[in-house]
Amino acid sequence: MVGEGMIAHLRRWRWFYASILIGGLAGERFPFSNWPMYSSFSANSGYVYVTDASGAPLAHLATFGESSARLKKQFNRDVGSALAQAAPPGRDEARRRSGQRLLTRLAARLTASRQQELGGLQLVYVTIRYAGGGLRRDETTVATLALAPPGTP
Amino acid sequence: MTTRRDLAPEVTFAWWETLCMRIGFALLLCHEYPPATRLPPPGSELPFPNGLAQWLDLGWGLVPQVYTGLHAALLAAAALYASGVAFPLAAPLLLVCYLVPATLLNSSGAISHHYQLMTLLLLAQTLAAWAWCLGRGRAAALWSSPAALHSWTTRVSLQVVAGNYVLSALTKLVATHGTWIWATHLMPVQFEKTRWQLFHDRLSMPELPLGAALNDACLAHPWICPLFFGPGLLIELFAFAMLFGRRWALLLGAAIALMHELVAATMGLFFRPHAAIAIIYAVNAPYWSARATRRARGARARTDSRPATAYSRTARTTRS
């Protein structure tokens, strides 16, 4: 009786259980997801931002059509992929290369005149950690990309 | 006596309920369509192909004319979808219109969860509609799409929504070995990160007074975090209760929508499609509005047909 009831239940809720099973197995394969955002926490976190050649921060959405959260994910994914290679570079070098690749992709979204205006791009990584009963932010420029200087045709 | 079956009764949705849901979901799909400005430029490399892009080259989806065509097809399919006619054809068309640009957006190394639930619902509705029509020899229903088909795909949609919220809770519990609620005492770091990320989006600090107050309190008293964020995990974990019937769906749907609103107010993270889906399918306001109206009319009718009392006779006499 219990077995029959269970089978009837599984049949009636099959889309529910399939959603859990497929999402759990597929992981982050669009449109499936196991929804890992904010699933774990650590005592420090970080984000990236992009500046022009002079170090002035750029508004990510207006300049590149990308959000800061997406830029950080792209950067972290690239660094993770580099570090997972058979002969991985050092962490700083992996960050530099990944930052360079990200800046190159972002520069491709700018018009030639905008590139000239900015002169270059820099990627800054900010680490946030607990310190002295509050939170502390430490900034490191991980990559720079020179763009055509003003006046260059 | 309550049986195990009674705990999860199979709800039959009326044609007008599912019509309202289809209109709501179609409007949501049109409103949330990925804008062309968010997509990589045409010809860009996809450094981390995701989903369908792992097996198929979807680079053609970045061509502006293709995007325009997909957007136009989305609007036409959304109108057909809302009407309810030829549902098994409208749903997959919408699915393709969403799948291509959202897959391309997710193939740059950043997985965004904005489009997942909407696309998953379209996938589930497509599969459910075709299974319903072909599995029982109802090929004619492909065009006519009767109310029973819409009721069925609505039940499937609710199961998919509930399943994904439960999965989200399970992922949190697995990742933290069951300690997620306590681990939220580290949330202030995440809040600070999110606040600065939002700043760099537009170079203006987001106005999150509730979030700032909460964060200050959490920094001073870390035990507040589990109290505030813990209920969110419980709502996700018990989202399956929305399959227990209309009242449970209303309760869980409202709780999920409220949870997303609180996350938006405190952390500036907007999951509008998720909240909207909970309201459209689980809260199902048209049903409760119709029920309240019917009850009010019934009560009025009963009052009118009741024999006149000494008080009402006096009142009538006074008025006349």
- Predicted confidence (pLDDT) at residue A112 exceeds the cutoff of 60: yes
Q: Do B245 and B255 form a contact (C-beta atoms < 8 A)?
A: no
In this predicted model, which residue has the larger pLDDT, A63 or B140? Answer: A63
* pLDDT range class, residue A152, cuts 50, 70, 90: low
Question: Looking at beta carbons, which residues of chain B come within 8 Å of A23?
Answer: 163-164, 167
In 3D space, the residue among B200, B203, B48, B188 whose CA is nearest the CA of residue A73 turns out to be B48
Q: Is A8 close to B41, i.e. CB distance below 8 A? A: no
ipTM of the complex: 0.89
Q: Could you please report the per-residue DSSP string of A55-73? A: S-B--HHHHHS--HHHHHH
Per DSSP, the three-state class of B41 is coil
Nearest CA distance, A6 vs chain B (angstrom): 10
Q: Measured between CB atoms, which of B112, B159, B189 is closest to A44?
A: B189
Q: Is B113 close to A33, i.e. CB distance below 8 A? A: yes
Token output for B274 = 């998720």
The per-residue pLDDT for B320 is 40
Instruction: For residues B279-306, give the mean pLDDT.
Output: 91
Alpha carbon separation from A50 to B23, B61, B62, B97 (Å, rounded): 41, 27, 24, 32
Helices assigned H by DSSP within B84-146? 87-105, 116-135, 141-144
The phi, psi pair for A137, rounded to 5°, reads -115, 130
Nearest CA distance, A35 vs chain B (angstrom): 5
- Predicted confidence (pLDDT) at residue B1 exceeds the cutoff of 70: no
Q: Do B149 and B134 form a contact (C-beta atoms < 8 A)?
A: no
Question: Looking at beta carbons, which residues of chain B come within 8 Å of A12?
Answer: 8, 10
Q: Measured between CB atoms, which of A28, A31, A77 is closest to B123?
A: A31
Q: Measured between CB atoms, which of A12, A41, A137 is closest to B186?
A: A41
Q: Is B196 close to A109, i.e. CB distance below 8 A? A: no
Nearest CA distance, A55 vs chain B (angstrom): 13
Say if B115 is an interface residue toward chain A (CB within 8 Å): yes
The per-residue pLDDT for A150 is 53
d(C-alpha B132, C-alpha B32), whole Å:
28
Total CB pairs under 8 A between chain A and B: 197
The per-residue pLDDT for B144 is 81
d(C-alpha A36, C-alpha A54), whole Å:
37
pLDDT, tens digit, for every residue of B120-131?
999 999 999 999
Residues B74, B99, A48, B181, CA torsion sign: positive
* pLDDT range class, residue B9, cuts 50, 70, 90: confident
Distance from the Cα of residue B262 to its chain's centroid: 16
Cis peptide, bond prior to residue A89, ω within 30 of zero? no
Q: A-contacting residues of B 247-286, CB under 8 Å?
A: none
Q: Do B172 and B233 form a contact (C-beta atoms < 8 A)?
A: yes
Question: Looking at beta carbons, which residues of chain B come within 8 Å of A47?
Answer: 193, 196-197, 200
Q: Do B126 and B92 form a contact (C-beta atoms < 8 A)?
A: yes
Q: Is A40 close to B184, i.e. CB distance below 8 A? A: no
**Chain B: residue nearest A42 by CA?**
B186
**Among B97, B105, B194, B197, which would you mutate to test the A interface (most chain A Cβ atoms within 10 Å of its Cβ)?**
B197
Question: Looking at beta carbons, which residues of chain B come within 8 Å of A72?
Answer: 110, 197
* pLDDT range class, residue B6, cuts 50, 70, 90: low
CA angle at residue B105 from B101 to B109, to 5 degrees? Answer: 150
pLDDT, tens digit, for every residue of B253-281?
999 999 999 999 988 888 999 999 999 99
Q: Is B52 close to A30, i.e. CB distance below 8 A? A: yes
Instruction: For residues A91-110, give the mean pLDDT.
Output: 94
Say if B230 is an interface residue toward chain A (CB within 8 Å): no
Burial class (CB in 10 A: 0-12, 13-18, 19+), B184: buried
The per-residue pLDDT for A151 is 55
